[in-house]
């Protein structure tokens, strides 16, 4: 698959071990142009890791919870790429510490709302803001978000799990409303990976250990590339008839009813 001449926006790049960074690498290797986003003090991390890509890229300011950041972002992309954007990766999620780690019953409303706004509502905001650019993409624009299976309750995941359920529903409604513009919206439900985001989940190793027992294909928690490649497929026009879908990239874990025999 080649993506020469295609233009993509990648959010959520903080370190080299992230799905977002691996996606950026893969897109560049296929010939695409990319721009990253970052915000606040964390933007320094994005600037630094952007320098580790094969081709230097621009990093634009975007706090997905700040409505004021969207117009300058759209204007910058409009100027850079002539008003056309082929796709965007939504790789943003956050829940306060008291919304994770077994605190489900004690979590205050403000923390649950923060998890929802950052992890789910922001997908709608990103799609709404970038719609004028995505609608001009040849063959249709694409929005891809990163998910963690929200059909079941997980240990320790708590209100982030609820936020991911909201993300899944948001993606379906976005697919409904943006589909007439030729814009498709899909999610990739990945197995657990040792990323910065995972480091913020107390007891993350509990989830990681479960994959070693139940994924029939096995699962490497240090390798985001299989997930990134699937993201690239969904961002490409090879997936031009797919929308409202959740693609599992988890070694087959989700399809098994229980842990496998050794």
* pLDDT of 209: 85
Q: Is the pLDDT of residue 74 over 70?
A: yes
| pLDDT band at residue 261 using 50, 70 and 90 as cut-offs | confident
**pTM of model > 0.85:** yes
How many Å apart are CA 183 and CA 142, to the nearest integer? Answer: 6
Predicted local distance difference test score (pLDDT) of residue 200: 63
List 43, 80, 124, 164, catalytic entry: 164
Over residues 177-185, the mean pLDDT reads 98
Report the alpha-carbon distance of residue 31 to residue 33 in Å, rounded.
7
Are the C-beta atoms of residues 243 and 184 closer than 8 Å to each other?
yes
Q: Is the pLDDT of residue 51 over 90?
A: yes
What is the mean predicted confidence (pLDDT) over 239-246? 97
Q: Is the pLDDT of residue 129 over 90?
A: yes
pLDDT averaged over the chain?
95
pLDDT digits (tens, 9 = 90+) for 138-178: 989 999 999 999 999 998 999 999 999 999 999 999 999 99
- In this prediction, residue 246 carries a pLDDT of 98
**Domains defined along the chain, listed by start:** 7-254 (3.40.50.720)
pLDDT at 196: 66
Provide the residue count of the chain.
262
pLDDT above 70 coverage of the chain, percent: 97
Question: Of the listed 157, 173, 194, 213, which one is catalytic?
Answer: 157
At residue 227, the pLDDT reads: 98
Q: Is 164 a catalytic residue?
A: yes
The pLDDT value recorded for residue 105 is 98
213 catalytically annotated: no
Q: What is the pLDDT of residues 185-227, one digit of tens each?
A: 999 999 999 876 666 666 678 778 889 899 999 999 999 999 9
The pLDDT value given to residue 212: 86
């Amino acid at each position: 698959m080649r993506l020469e001449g295609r233009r993509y926006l990648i959010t959520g790049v903080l370190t080299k071990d992230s799905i977002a960074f691996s996606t950026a690498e893969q897109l560049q290797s296929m010939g695409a142009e990319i721009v990253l986003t970052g915000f606040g003090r964390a933007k320094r991390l994005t600037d630094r890791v952007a320098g580790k890509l094969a081709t230097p890229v621009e990093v634009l300011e975007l706090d997905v919870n700040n409505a004021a950041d969207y117009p300058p972002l759209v204007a910058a992309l409009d100027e850079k790429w002539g008003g056309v954007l082929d796709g965007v990766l939504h790789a943003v999620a956050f829940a306060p510490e008291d919304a994770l780690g077994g605190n489900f019953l004690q979590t205050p409303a403000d923390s649950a709302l923060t998890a929802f706004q950052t992890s789910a509502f922001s997908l709608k905001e990103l799609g709404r803001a970038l719609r004028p650019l995505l609608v001009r993409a040849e063959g249709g624009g694409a929005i891809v978000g990163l998910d963690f299976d929200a059909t079941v309750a997980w240990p320790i995941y708590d209100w982030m799990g609820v936020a991911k359920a909201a993300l899944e529903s948001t993606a379906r409604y976005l697919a409904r409303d943006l589909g007439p513009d030729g814009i498709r919206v899909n999610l990739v439900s990945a197995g657990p990976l040792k990323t910065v985001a995972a480091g913020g989940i107390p007891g993350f190793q509990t989830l990681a250990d479960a994959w070693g027992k139940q994924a029939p294909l096995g699962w490497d928690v240090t390798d985001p590339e299989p997930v990134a490649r699937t993201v690239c497929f969904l961002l490409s026009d090879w997936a031009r008839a797919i929308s409202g879908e959740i693609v599992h990239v988890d070694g087959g874990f989700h399809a098994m009813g229980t842990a496998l025999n050794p």
